[in-house]
Chain A
Amino acid sequence: MKNLNKQLNNLALVMSVFVIGVVALMFCYTGYKTVRVAYKTAIDELMEDSETTLESSIKTISTRLELVERITTNTANFSDVVTPDDENSGYILLERLTSATPDIMFACLMFKENFYPSKGSQYCPSIVYDSVTNTKKHVDFVEYGFGYLGMDINWLVNEKGKPVWSPPYRIQYKKYDGMFIGYSVPIYDSNNEFMASLCAVVNLGWLREILDDIKPHSESNMFLLDGNGNYIFRSDTTFYSVDNIFEKDADTAWLSIYDNMTRGKRGMSQTKQPPLYVFYAPLGSTNWSVALVYPKGIVDEVPNQMVYEMLAVIICTILVLLMVLYFGIFLIIKPFSIKLQAATEKSASVERDLEIASKLQKGMLPKDFHIEPENNGFKIYGILQPARMVGGDLYDYFVLNGNLFFCIGDVSGKGVSASLFMSMVRTMFRDITQYETSPELVVDKINQGLATGNSHNMFCTMFVAVLDLSTGKMRYCNAGHNAPIIGHRKSDGCFVEYMRTETNVAVGVLEGFEYVKEETTLNDGDFIFLYTDGVTEAENIEKQLFGESRTLKSIERNCNKDAQGVVEALFGEISGYAENAEQSDDITMLFVRYERPKRVLDLTNDVSQTPLLAEWVDGVCKDFGLPESRLFNVQLVLEEVVVNVMKYAYPGQEGKPVTVTASRTDNGIKFVIEDNGIAFNPLEMKEPDIGMAAEERPIGGLGFYIVRQLVDEVAYQRNKGKNILTMTIEFDK
């Protein structure tokens, strides 16, 4: 039972682990999928946000710059106010520019070489707007060292005619320290000749504010690149650096980013060191490009958070499940296991009870057939094999006052109920036969006994017989049982047939039924074979019956065997016939052979014992009913034979056995004289010539001659070192 508990524990554990395993797998799978989606969503959201951000920033910046462009281009149209004779004529334009928007804090005209010879080769009238003091100042920027003609700045003298933005410059001028870019537009005179570049310079201070404003995340960065890959603006630290990135960042991703940006492309890239998402888009006419930079960590923040949360949930759930399952299953199974245990024990207990009952029932049957004394007048053997542990068949026998009482019975049904009924019947049989010796009355009384309290209408077929062992007369009564087989000994084998009996009703059926007695006489060697229908109705796998014919033939075939041999032979045949088919009914057989009791006299080879022999012969002949007148001759014959054996069988030996046996035959007595001395067949002795004269008659040889004259049948056998002489004396001779 401890084993059962352990098994249950294991079961609970296995089930728990299994369920958890499945659940965990499910969780992991869905979790994985969800996390992927989360990451993607995060990125998508990021992209969307970035798009929006970029767009808005681009818009803002572009708008402002476009304004400058428009103003400057517009102003350039008024180029006809600029005359070569008036060196200050340009200031009108410049005034216009610097008044148009505070973004333009510096405007200048870079005249072509020697346009105003009085001013020298280069002349750059400028207006500087100080937003703080709200004052404007007119200066010739050349005087401040702005030798533009000598400068390698390709946008300054813009003869091609296209307005162009300059790259960003850092300018430190008095209080100004900032990034500036200039938009220069060429102006032409009335002859369409180039006069000067009109240049509006814009302070980029507002860039930072804009970009800071629209920066979506505290951790994110923005930077602006110009068309040449120079930083215009970088939100991380150094606002004012103008490094060319190509010298700096080594990550190839950056290279492609910058490459794309300088080409005015828009897109998104990821870098590895540091891990960043970079969104970029072009700015428009300035050939600038804006980029938004997100550390990957930020992007992954939300999904990571999700992952951690999910893992925590999973683990907690699993632990809880584990405990719940383990204890839950255990709690559920425990009452079942207790019930199972109880049921198993109960079943085992019932099994044990049945075993005991089976033993008890077997104990009720007489089994020790061999302990019957040799010469009691019968040989008997029986077999009972129940279909289940206990059965409803019975047989019984016992000897009382020189009579053999025997019976066979078959209770309706099988199993425990039939076996209980059987034991009642058997008890009654034993009880009633103590005082009642007529079979029909025995049956009648058993019937009466069963009538009371027989609510289940159980009944029992029976065959009861009483055999007088000295005479062979058998009285019997058949109560509904299948007719026994009777066998008569013949010279070679036997004649067997089913007995014809009265068909009385089975016991327990009809109270008060009058049972009929019957009688027959068995001769020496005749037998009765009793059986139940478990024999004739034994089934094979095809449900075919063994049958009465087979049964009869088996008995006939084996009739010369001893009682055990006959029964076992038939049983073996039935077993072979049934093969593996389940035994459908109890199989019961009882074989009784009548052997007239023999009388035995053990002598030794001592002729002085002849009086003993004479006395014994006297007793035997009287018992067997030999007419008195014949006694003399019988005694004479016996003496002759026995003395013969005593004298000649054991030459030189004393105290050797000589055994005389007498048994009744149908109409006489059979004597058998046995010794185990030297082989000697008295029948081969020469007959004396009784016609001889006295003088010539030899003394010996007379004995056996006498025997042969007086005895009907004499036979000699040598068997297993024994001399066996058989003589039969018939009564009516």
Chain B
Amino acid sequence: MEVEVKEINGVLTGILSGRLDTAAAEKCTEGLKPLFDNADKPLALDCKGLEFISSTGLRILLSLLKSSSARKGSLVIKNLSDDVKNVFKITGFSKIFTME
């Protein structure tokens, strides 16, 4: 899985692509560090290329959300695939994340 961090329209965006399974968790966390460091700012995650996510990945997202909330930032998740959206739904994440 790949993480690219870009500034898009003044929002620090993490572009996730590939499979965010347990094996990739560490790499993902590493890649999203800039976002974690700027949790007070508005943040975005673009999941267009995200093929797969498991609970480990969900935990990372949750962790980012919590950091963002704690530092009065914001987090938007964009372009979720149907399958991933479904997972969010099942787990109730769709209620706690701002999704576009």
Contacts and interface: CB of A to CB of B under 8 A. Distances in A.
Interface stretch (A196-204, A350-358, A631-639): A631-639
Contacts of B91: 690, 702, 705-706
Contacts of B70: 695
Interface in B1-46: 19, 21-23
A706 B55 contact: yes
A337 interface: no
Nearest to B58: A702
Interface residues of A, number: 28
A692 B66 CA distance: 13
Interface residues of B, number: 25
Interface string B55-98: 11011001101100110000000000001001100111001100
A632 B59 contact: no
Interface string A668-699: 00000000000000000000001111110101
A204 B46 CA distance: 188
B87 A611 contact: no
A690 B22 CA distance: 21
Nearest to B60: A699
Interface stretch (A46-54, A445-453, A602-610): A602-610
A632 B52 contact: yes
A643 B96 CA distance: 25
A697 B62 contact: yes
Given A694-B96, A697-B62, A703-B54, A611 B23 contact: yes
Contact of A636 (B23, B52, B95): B52
Contact of A635 (B23, B52, B55, B56): B52
Interface string A554-597: 00000000000000000000000000000000000000000000
Interface in A624-672: 632-633, 635-636, 639-640, 643
Given A639-B54, A643-B54, A699-B63, A706 B23 contact: no
B62 A639 contact: no
Contacts of B21: 610-611, 614, 639
A709 B87 CA distance: 10
Given A694-B65, A694-B69, A695-B69, A643 B83 contact: no
Contacts of A702: 55, 58-59, 91
A610 B22 CA distance: 7
Given A643-B22, A694-B69, A706 B90 contact: yes
Contacts of A639: 21-22, 54
A691 B92 contact: yes
Contact of B56 (A609, A614, A643, A691): A643
Contact of B55 (A614, A691, A692, A703): A703
A710 interface: yes
B22 A693 contact: no
Q: Chain A interface mostly helix, strand, loop or mixed?
A: helix
Contacts of A633: 83, 86
B55 A640 contact: yes
Nearest to A701: B55
A20 B63 CA distance: 123
Contacts of B87: 636, 706
Contacts of A699: 59, 62-63
A703 B52 CA distance: 14
Interface in A227-249: none
B52 A697 contact: no
A675 to B, nearest CB: 16
B31 to A, nearest CB: 17
Interface in A299-335: none
A609 B22 CA distance: 9
A600 to B, nearest CB: 21
Which of A608, A636, A692, A703 has the largest number of chain B CB atoms within 10 A? Answer: A636
Contact of A709 (B63, B66, B90, B96): B90
Contacts of A694: 62, 65-66, 69, 96
A607 B22 CA distance: 6
Nearest to A692: B92
Contacts of B58: 702
B80 to A, nearest CB: 12
A643 B20 CA distance: 13
Contacts of B59: 699-700, 702
A706 B54 CA distance: 9
A711 to B, nearest CB: 12
A604 to B, nearest CB: 13
A156 B87 CA distance: 187
Contacts of B86: 633
Contacts of B90: 705-706, 709-710
Contacts of A609: 23
Nearest to B54: A639
Given A694-B69, A706-B91, A710-B90, A611 B83 contact: no
B68 to A, nearest CB: 10
A703 B90 CA distance: 11
A654 to B, nearest CB: 16
Contacts of B22: 607, 610, 639, 643
Contacts of B55: 640, 643, 702-703, 706
A688 to B, nearest CB: 8
A608 B1 CA distance: 13
A702 B59 CA distance: 9
B98 to A, nearest CB: 11
Contacts of B96: 693-694, 697
Contact of B83 (A610, A632, A690, A705): A632
A702 B60 CA distance: 12
A635 B23 CA distance: 14
A709 B88 CA distance: 12
A694 B96 CA distance: 6
Given A614-B19, A690-B91, A636 B54 contact: yes
B66 to A, nearest CB: 6
A643 B23 CA distance: 10
Contacts of B53: 636
Contact of A690 (B54, B66, B92): B92
Contacts of A693: 96
Contacts of A607: 22-23
Contacts of A700: 59
Nearest to B96: A694
B78 to A, nearest CB: 18
Given A610-B21, A643-B22, A703-B55, 11 more contacts: A607-B22, A607-B23, A639-B21, A640-B54, A643-B54, A694-B62, A694-B69, A695-B66, A695-B69, A699-B62, A706-B55
Interface of B: 19, 21-23, 52-56, 58-59, 62-63, 65-66, 69-70, 83, 86-87, 90-92, 95-96
29 contacts: A607-B22, A609-B23, A610-B23, A611-B21, A614-B19, A614-B21, A614-B52, A632-B83, A633-B83, A636-B54, A636-B87, A639-B54, A640-B54, A643-B22, A693-B96, A694-B62, A694-B69, A695-B70, A697-B96, A699-B63, A702-B55, A702-B59, A702-B91, A703-B54, A703-B55, A705-B90, A706-B90, A709-B90, A710-B90
Pairs of residues from A and B, 5 with the lowest C-beta to C-beta distance, nearest first: A690-B92, A632-B83, A703-B55, A694-B96, A610-B23
